Structure 1
Amino acid sequence: MGLGPAPVARAGLLALAVCLGVWLVTSGSAEEVRPPQPSPAEAADAWGGRSGAAPLPGSPPVRIRIPSIGVDAPLTGLGLDRDGSLQVPPTGDRNLAGWYRDGTTPGAAGTAILAGHVDRATGPAVFYRLGAVRRGASVEVPRADGRTAVFTVHAVEVYDADAFPDERVYGPARRAELRVITCGGPFSPGTGYRGNVVVFAHLTGVR
């Protein structure tokens, strides 16, 4: 099932709850420890429009692996808060990400959504280095059915929260696509991060 109108309309709020930059504020060293941000060279190009692998039947994801930045993390299901924004993973486990359980499952036709913290009070969290992902990198998502959906990144972008492109990020897709989201953009100790880093990927293989 793809994202319906209400989640899409509200989804621009999803990462704001995890964008306070708690560790950067408490460490007092925001400039020195700020997580990497994507360069304009990683923005979308025509390559992202090429067809990918045939979509899989739906099956819940259990992990996410991004070898190029050392991510290997379990996934927990996320629902929506009362205001329609996506819930965020618990902060107790730094190496935990989440997936929107009422939307498309990774590998199925449509746009699957994964989100995670960039940091927490004690230091970097699971997606601290998400902004360092480059086009052409692999994102692997093992699923409950025993298959691993392998995605290829076709864009990495950062958006200001006031100009978050809901339809571009969360809109429906005919092929199997994936979005991986965390906080990013300008940082202020008073307000935290003012935007989001978004990795765009599409299914290119199955193991």
Structure 2
Amino acid sequence: MTVGLVRSRGTTMAGGFLALALVLSGCSGSDDESSDSPPSEAPTSEAAEADAVAGEEAEVEIAEAFEDPDMGDSLEIISAVRDFPSEEHADLIADGGEVVLVQVKVAPGEEYGGRISTGNFEISWDDGADFWNDKTRMVTEEMAAADRPELEDVARRDGGETTGWVAFLVDEKADTYLLNYTRDGAKVIGSDETVDEFTHEVEIPAP
């Protein structure tokens, strides 16, 4: 995909009759019947969800830095949180999925405009055959409550350095994942200059 690019400026009654007939005839019910224990109840869905939510999270270090040579952006994948507990997505976890958070540091280049956002990141749980978009917006409140704020959009013209978290809802939990960062190709507005697409993959290790 190619986009335009500008340079920067700086989740019962019948039972009652039967009992009365037994009393009038001098009959009584069986002792065995009265002493029977009630059948054990199956765990409720709420209990199952609670078990799913109570999974122990684990943060794994990654510490892999890379640079987009054309845009001058520097990024670092600092760490990942595996088995992030989520009430909102308890069904996903109970079905064998996982909520994964990835901590990212971004220092954008200053020559061009545009921005870097959570949408630049995707995850694969099938060894790279397919990649799925981030779902950060669906986990922001729980992330904030856990003192793991989301990665805010980073405008290149603002410069500086930003650190935050990107969230993924994984349908099929795997030992390791592939994280893919993609910056689309672009044409510099007002010139014949083009900038090629840039991608970089990082492995998210097992806890």
TM-score by length of 1: 0.29
Which has the bigger relative contact order, CA under 8 A and spacing at least 6? 1
Give the TM-score taking structure 2 as reference length: 0.29
